[in-house]
Amino acid sequence: MGNPSIEAAIKLEKKRTDRKLKELNRETSDNPILGFFNKLARDNLSKEKERLEKAEEAFKALDLNKLKSCFGFDTFFATDVRRFGDGGIFIGNLRKPIEEAIPTLEKKLSEAAGTEVVVWFMEENTNDIKKQACVVQPKAEMDLQFESTNLNNAWGYFSAITLFVTTIGTIALTSGFFLKPDATIDDYFRDVVPLFGGFLTILGVSEIATRVTAARYGVKLSPSFLVPSSWTGCLGVVNNYESLLPNKRALSDIPVARTASAYLTSLVLAVAAFIADGSFNGGDNALYIRPQFFFNNPLLSFIQYVIGPYTDDLGNVLPYAVEGVGVPCDPLAFAGLLGMVVTSLNLLPCGRLEGGRIAQAMFGRGPANLLSFATSLLLAIGGLSGSVLCLAWGLFATFLRGGDEIPAKDEITPLGDDRFAWGCVLFLICFLTLFPNVGGTFSSSYFGSPYFRGDF
């Protein structure tokens, strides 16, 4: 049984409106006030009925018999058809390259249906048998769906600007936690501005890379929304797709462009800072970071091994650390390290985070949903174990960015080994950056308070 069509829903609502109108017409009252409200209700229902009649004309279910005649040996050979909403699903096999079949079929089907249609190609498994399917839907329904979630409007831009200003404030605020206890305002501007600027540089470069890649595929994006945080200043950037994706390559390349550019910019900032200082001890304008920041995972532990090393000749851990203050680190270098952590949070394979989109492109919708559930479960366990960051990000990723993306128009063409390799590399970096270091190198709990607060 296919999913309910918009046409059927409109007809049902129209029947309810007619019934209410008849009930109101049967009601009589000598009370002028009741009569006034009765007339007002009838007028509203009459207008509603007119809107429903216009909508019924616009949302007509497609005639599948007419559409089936459009398929053939030169495009897609359909062997079976079933109703799906106001359109249908045609089972068969491609007889032409998909980039040629889609525009040809959309033109034929639109002429036969008398209205514009949208075509998807995907695979479905029935009794362990994989079959190709062509999904046809009225374009008006897809336009209505995107219009209902459209954020390219005054409210969307106002929200984006508000979150941007708020995030600027949280970055400026949290940057002050890395200063010495007796720091002055001059110390703040001298030491924190590089961190502030480095973080904004990472966000700016990744945003430009995302927009350029989306434009190359003809994908419309919503405004980008920064996620402010009192832990790291910013937890990343999110946006929605407001048009159909042409293929799985677009679904993969757009989030890869954001995350890969953020990682590379973070790395360049860190390396440039170390080269400029000529040492790993933070230089003249060092920020002081809690040692626990370097204890939590293999990647940052390795970085500290390079900077440190772990112990000096006398066995003292973190020889550059200043007791009661922290480990000295160049502001620009720390902006790079912090950028890697924030990017990794967005690379978690959950919902419509960048990692969830990449997982959907790499593994398909079913496995991606399982990964999303497992990630949400692990974040919940982390939150219940005492990590406020795990709890907050888990709630955000699960409930505000949950679900999956609308299928790409071409779900049949494989992603390709090179893009699959890119996805694996990014997930590996994410794993190394976020996964707790359980090897016993340091006696520090991963699920603790934010790294720049509390006692040493």
- Distance between CA 292 and CA 289 in Å, rounded? 8
Do 246 and 218 form a contact (C-beta atoms < 8 A)? yes
Q: Who has greater pLDDT, 146 or 206? A: 206
Cα–chain-centroid distance for residue 143? Answer: 21
Q: How far apart are CA 148 and CA 146, in angstroms?
A: 5
Residue-wise burial string across 23-48, b where 16 or more C-beta atoms lie within 10 A, e elsewhere: eeeeeeeeeeeeeeebeeeeeebeeb
pLDDT score recorded for residue 443: 36
What's the pLDDT band for 448 if we cut at 50, 70, 90? very low
pLDDT of 175 > 90? The answer is no
Could you report the per-residue pLDDT of 373-428, keeping only the tens digit for each?
999 998 888 888 777 778 888 899 999 898 888 889 999 999 999 999 999 999 99
| Tens digit of each residue's pLDDT (9 = 90 or more) over 344-356 | 999 999 999 999 9
pLDDT at 296: 52
In sequence order, the 6+-apart residues with CB closer than 8 A to the CB of 167 are 226, 227, 228, 233, 234
The arithmetic mean of pLDDT across residues 172-196, rounded, is 73
Residue 185 has pLDDT above 60, yes or no: yes
Q: How far apart are CA 169 and CA 191, in angstroms?
A: 17
Q: Quick: pLDDT tens for 1-50.
A: 345 555 666 667 777 877 887 777 777 767 777 777 777 877 787 777 77
Nearest to 342 by CA among 435, 203, 192, 248: 203
pLDDT of residue 165: 92
* Order of strands, sheet of 129-138, starting from the edge strand that comes earlier in the sequence: 76-84, 87-94, 129-138, 117-126
Tell me which residue of 152, 258, 263 sits closest to 213, measured CA to CA: 258
pLDDT band at 236 (very low <50, low <70, confident <90, very high): confident
Over residues 236-265, the mean pLDDT reads 94
Average pLDDT over residues 316-330: 61
At residue 248, the pLDDT reads 93
**Per-residue CA distances from 34 to 18, 25, 312 (Å):** 21, 13, 89
Average pLDDT of the residues in 306-313: 46
Q: Is 0.85 surpassed by the pTM of this model?
A: no
pLDDT bracket for residue 211 (50, 70, 90): very high
Kindly list the distances between the CA atom of residue 123 and the CA atoms of 77, 126, 249, 441, 445, in Å, as whole numbers in the listed order. Answer: 14, 10, 16, 47, 45
Mean pLDDT over 274-301 rounds to 63
Phi, psi angles (nearest 5°) of residue 262: -65, -45
**pLDDT above 70 for 215:** yes
User: 143 is written with which tokens?
Assistant: 């336009």
Residue 441 reports pLDDT greater than 50: no
pLDDT confidence tier of residue 241, bands split at 50, 70 and 90? very high
Please report the sign of the dihedral spanned by the C-alpha atoms of residue 112, residue 113, residue 119, residue 122: negative
Q: What is the pLDDT of residue 20?
A: 81
**pLDDT band at 113; cut points 50, 70, 90:** confident
Q: How confident is the model at residue 438 (pLDDT cuts 50, 70, 90)?
A: very low
Least confident range from 201-210, 244-253, 277-286: namely 277-286
What integer pLDDT is reported at residue 320 of this predicted model?
60
Q: Is the pLDDT of residue 440 over 60?
A: no
What's the maximum distance between 2 C-alpha atoms anywhere in the chain? Answer: 100
Residue whose tokens read 């203050």: 325
Residues of the chain above pLDDT 70, percent: 78
| Dist. CA 436–CA 198, nearest whole Å | 26
Q: Are 53 and 14 in contact (CB under 8 A)?
A: yes
